[in-house]
Structure 1
Amino acid sequence: MALGELPVRSSSVREGGTVVIVDPDSAHAAAMADAVRALGHAVTITATAAEALASIEREAPDILVLAVTLPDMGGPELARRASLLSTPPDVVLVAERATPEAGLVALEVEAAGVLVKPVNAARAGGLIGRLVERHRRRHEQQEFTEKLRTLSALSGLITSARDTQEVFKALARAATMLLGARLVHVWVDDPRAQVLRVRGTYGLDPEFERPLTEYEVISYGSGMAGGTFTAGRPEFIFGVRTSPRWKNRRLAEAAGLHAYAGLPLMAGDRTLGVLAIVFGERGEFSVEEKELMQRLADHAAFTIVRSEAREQAERDRARLEVLYAVSRRLASVHDVDGVLNAVVNEAARLLGLEAAGIRLLEGEDLVISARTEAAAQLMTRPTLRVGESLSGRVVASGQPLIVEDIEQETVQDPEQRQAALRVGYHAYLGVPLKVGGRAVGVLSVWGRAARSFAPDDVALLSAFADQAAVAFEEARLYAETREREREATNLARVTAHLASSLQLDRVLDLITWSAKELLRCDAAAVWRYDDGRDGLVAYRASGMPIERISHVVVKPGQGLAGRVLKERKPLWTRQLTRSLQDDAPDASETATALGLQAALAAPIVSGEEAYGVLVVYRRAADDFALREVTLLSTLADHAAIAVRNARLYSETRQREDENAQLYAEASTQRERLGRIFDSTSDGIMFVTQEGRIEAINRQAGDLLGTDSDAMIGGDLLDLLEDRIAEAGAEDGLPLSLRTLFSHTEGGEGDLALPRLKRVLRWVAQPTTEGGGRAVGLTITFQDVTRDREVNQMKTDFVSFVTHQLRTPLSGIKWMLELVADAEIPIDIRSYVADARDASERLINLVNDLLDISRLERGRLEIRPQPTDLGALTASVLEEVAGLVRTHDHRISVTGVDDAPTVIADPQLLRQVVLNLISNAIKYTPRSGEIAIRISGVGDRVRWEIQDNGIGIPRDAQRRLFEKFYRADNVFAVETEGTGLGLYLVRLIIEQFGGRVWCDSEEGRGATFVFTLPNSGVA
């Protein structure tokens, strides 16, 4: 869209509407006019169509009220002409009567309303007022649409136009038209000159254009726009003609300027310029006007940013083209000197300067590495210290350095400044050469004329310097790679000898020769520590006769080699004879006689023992680089390997002889163990953690009714299932066996083999390696068939007796309770109470015996279900709380709240927990400590209770869970017991596939632990 095509129209703001009444009936017209004026609208009355046309052509009204019949023209014709206006009014017809003809006329002229005489003035005024308001809203909507079209067109122009001057002029014109301003300026910041410059203006008549040229540039803070720029926020000022910030008063007076709106052009935190809009006489700015101004300011700021980005892109493109061409030239150069010479020549050419040069960092000095022919007059000193001169300052800071005129430079060395001026150079630019973020040198360019360097110049030279540094580094690495190849070849030769030869002398000869050649030294030697002479003596040498140095003994800590032996780290010196004078005069004299000045030594360490030192020598007093130190250390490590290999070979031969003897002894021992293994009456097998049988004796096979050799490699549980299934048994394997390999705790229990009519007692113990890691289980089997038959007879007898005792005991208890409720003497009551307690204990004993009998015979009804072990424990603790208080014990509990669930019969598991807690309370002296802990261990749940009571003797722990067994030391405590509680605990826990045991030391308390399979229910 061209500039002249921007759709704009001036804004008009009126307080009230305008109405023209055309009616030859003056009284009727006056009555309606009064009613409309009462609503705040302006009214013009005409009697003829001609008068009405003249009025509406001067200023289009909002509403045209006209009679259908006029003396000089029909009402419809006047309405048609009014509709041709740029802003046509709404028409209201006034008819003499309500006839169809009047309705047709209203439709023809698209009337907004029809009034029929006689007209009610108040009603007519209300109708006209509403029509005025509707007309105004429609007019405002049209103006808003026009503004949007103008802003949209302006946005399109900003996006497509490349001439920013054209965009700014269009933006100023749009602001003038949209806001009704007299004058609009677009000021743009010039940061180099620290001024604002006019880049677009609109609104002045030709007679005022001349005064404007006097103010096309203003400084920061000066004038209206300069003040807005400095403030960085919008400013709205009225009475500009009297404002001290308005500079051109003649222009303000002549153009009738009054109000100023200044909006900074912002891009993030940057202020890019100012949009200055000046108005004539007017009131306060509305919110809508301020928002429109801000949108125009944003458009201007976007134009500036877009222009800057386009200009920067052009500069970047040109710079990349140059850098690409230069990088291609550098890529074709492979030697270091060639790269550096190409760099200095291209650097001078890039910036159109006369001289360029490079200094590279060597140690703490900057050394001339390359220069153009013209720079030879400037770079006269071979070395400079870092921080010295212009080049040294660049390396010290790691930042570019610009000197526009060396003559004005006060920091530089006066002598060097005069030298530069003497040969006619004034301008200087230096940038660091960086490798891996570290300054390794400086690229400098000089110009004969004083000049400033733009940021693009610095960026261009810096980018080129970075590429040059990379090219230089690649060339240097190429040279180093060739050197490394040579070193690697020699090291490979040494390594090959290490792998193929166990002759120590031959390998050490190769190492000393390689050290001399690879480090470009004059001689090398291996010094070996001699226990008999308590010092280092020469063992092998290259580049000098070994006889010349064999008499020298270097003590640990003395001289270079002695210090290396003691400190076990590489060291070097460029003054060998001086370092040996005090500590080792013989060695000093020998070094002087051989003309040796510099030496580098590395320790030969084999394991924890320092074997000796590898030393290389130079006749020139040179320094040694870190690379050389590393290389010699590598060769020393190879020497250590040779020493270690020789020793290992000797030790291996000795160990082979020892192993042969040990093997013979082991064979004898293995035969002896085999005889013992086979002679025992118990069955023994070793099973892996996966349940695979790895070893089994003959007795185990016999007890299980199968061939022991055939069982090796088989799955134990599958084999046992087969043995049980052969007899048609329905119960299958006991739970304790089925879960045996789900944990590493082991276990024990009975295994019934119905087909063999045999009961085996099995005990599984974890088997560990030397490091304590469990590798499987050792399981022993005993034939307990006869024992179980005897026990069964005992059980049957006890079951019979207990059944016979239970009924009379219950009757005795009931009779005693009746007696206790009767009125009897106090002394008799005491006897009755004792008898009742005794009967209660007998009943509990009978109940325990019955439960044990049912468990042993498998007739106790068990209802396993997911059981919250933590909640069950908490419930038992509440039950025994009174007993705890009686004994004044302190009980701590951990893991109850987040205890895993188990599959068990809650009533039976409660009996287990109650028995264990009650025992801890009873067998712990008064005011004791009891701790209960619940935790998940793998797929098992562990419950344990620890007390500080009387403890259990070690010999009693083996039988602790047997029926009717009580340890001897329990009788020292006044407690009652039957020896059935722990036996019942074991039966119940094993019934659920768990295990229970005790850890105790007599007099130091006891810890009872049981584990159960985790139910897997959260």
Structure 2
Amino acid sequence: MFPGRNYWRKTKMQPTKSGKQRITAERYTALSRVGTALMSELDESRLLLLIAETACELTDASFAAFTLRPVDEEGQPLVASEGNLFHLAAVVGVTKQQEELFRRMPLGGEGLLAPIFRQGVPVLVEDALSFIPPKKVNQHQGHLDAAREAAISYAHGFLPVEGLQSMGVPRGHPVVRSFLGVPLLNRDSQVRGGLLLGHTEPGKFTQEDEALLVGLAAQAAVALENARLYRAAKMRAQELNTIFESIADGIALVDNQGKILRENSTARHLREILNENSAAQSATSTVLQAPDCYVNRDELAHGVALTVANEHTESRDYIINATPLRIPNTLSGPLADPHKSEQETFSGAVVVWHDVTESRRLLIERRILAETEARRALLQTVLDELPSSVYLVRGQDARLVLANRAAATVWGAPWPPGQPMADFLKENGIRIFSIEGHILAPEELAPLRAVQNGETVRHHQEVIRHPDGTTLPVLVNAVALDAHDLNVASFDLQKHSDTEQVPAAIVVTQDVTALKETERLKDDFIGIAAHELRNPLAILKGYAQTLIVQTARGNGPELADWQVEALQSIDQSSLRLVELIDDLLDVTRLQAGRLELHPEPTNLIALAKRTISRLQVTTAKHTLSLHTSLEHFVLNIDAQRIEQVLSNIISNAIKYSPEGGPIEISISVDSKKNMALLSISDHGIGIPVNQQAHVFARFMRADNARLYGIGGTGLGLYISRELVDRHGGRIWFESAEAQGTTFYIALPKQHD
């Protein structure tokens, strides 16, 4: 590229005028060529090394060093030029040990280097050794100040180079006699670094060398700036590419003809999907294929809606926007026509596919949430106006969702939303008892039965006992629900899938204190009336039977047939009235809790046979039969009351089978539960489905019984259930209208 060191050495030994001119011309020619090489080199390390080698070759220096000051990404110095803040960037002509020494050594501008690094002017010294002061003087602070003042004076032209003062050289530094240093200035004329040359012999550098080195330093500054700009541009390009690829929206750059110049991965993926969907392709063709038409009309392709099904067949909604790209109108030729259209400066468009699926879904969810909250507020207002306690619970532990004002009155304390029912009762000292007076376990409470077992609990009587000892009789209804069907905003349903059922229940608790008092008064009245009727009826029945018996025996005048028939009717009616009065008295005792049982060991088989035999004589159209493999089975029961239960059930089977037919009674033993199981089946009119839930209520009679003209009070099944319950047993039935009914009774072998 340029002549070697030996050539320059030879020419310097022939200091003829023509030789000097030729050398100068060749040097500048070489400097021009090396400048071209510097402009093409973008790697900073190789660039700096090339500059140092070039400086040695052009000036025949023994070694060259390149020092730099740290700069930021914009090329601005990070530290001041004062002090030892420069670092070695490149060096040639020294040993490895010396290079390591220079790289560890902080470099700065003191002594002969001060004008270069601080004031930015070159320094040419014939013999550096002549500038080194004695050691004692070199270490004195006054000498350092004098050296700085001399450097400033030299930089301003008030002092020749011989007036500079050296600070010496560090241990291990190569021997320097001839010295030439020039600053490296940036575009703002700030010192960026320095190019330092040295030679072991004095007088080796000339003014021409200085001028040559200044030119090389200027080219080096431009080359370094180009390298920095290239590095910064590359970094910015990488950053922008990373950002471009990481954008969730699809982005594509298209030219005037709609050709895609660049696109990110999202846009590429969408385009691949669109290629398989002709309908979706047509929706975007206007934006992609001819974006210039929008620009010609000074318009933008804005808000083009598109729905795309992805590889998972999930629909995604997109809004497509196209924004024109216009290039600056910078011309290097003749002046531009001021009336030239904007189309000539249009270079293409940026097309953006914005995925609005989630935002639309979020808007829908917010709208639904707002509507739900509005409905809930309305529901809360309606519930608060109800006189009965109404509350909604969810989850296996019956956590409160919402409640009306009456609920706090019933409980005697506010129930915080989200708190489980058991925790609320325990925290407030509230206990719940059955109508019989025993405390209910948590799993026996109506709300927990609804959420845990899916039961629908109706007309469940409970007594709430508050911490102060006051009691409140209530009637509880609980209906099991699925929380997903309620769409209540406060439900924490995110933890559950759409297919997973979340139990919930709506619970209505009615304060029946007034009803209980009314019922008590009614029961007292019925009890008093029934008790007062017993004596007249007993007298009436007794005299009627006496007349019948005595007449049959021939005592007294003989009665006519119609008189005997009348007496028998009086006797039967009196008996029916006595039975009715007994039922009414049993009801009042049950309601008042005064009915007492007298359990004793009883053979259930014998009791059943006795009852069947007694009732068989009352009907000729029915056949009563007992089916059992047991000869005897002893239970600890109140025989009179269980016989009363069997009489009620079998009598109903006879009564509600007006066409007659078999009535089958079976007795078996459940050895696992140690219980006796009785069943009474008929083939009568059955019980309507819509009335089966109320069969065991007082005074309840089915509608089809009235249609058939079958009389009755509706007390028999109520008394039977209460008596079975008080024995620790259970009674239930299965029935189909017009097909018959089967009642089941389960009694424990031992009852306390």
TM-score for both structures, normalised by structure 2: 0.40
Query: Which has the larger share of helix?
Result: 1
TM-score for both structures, normalised by structure 1: 0.31
Higher relative contact order (CA 8 A, sep 6+): 2
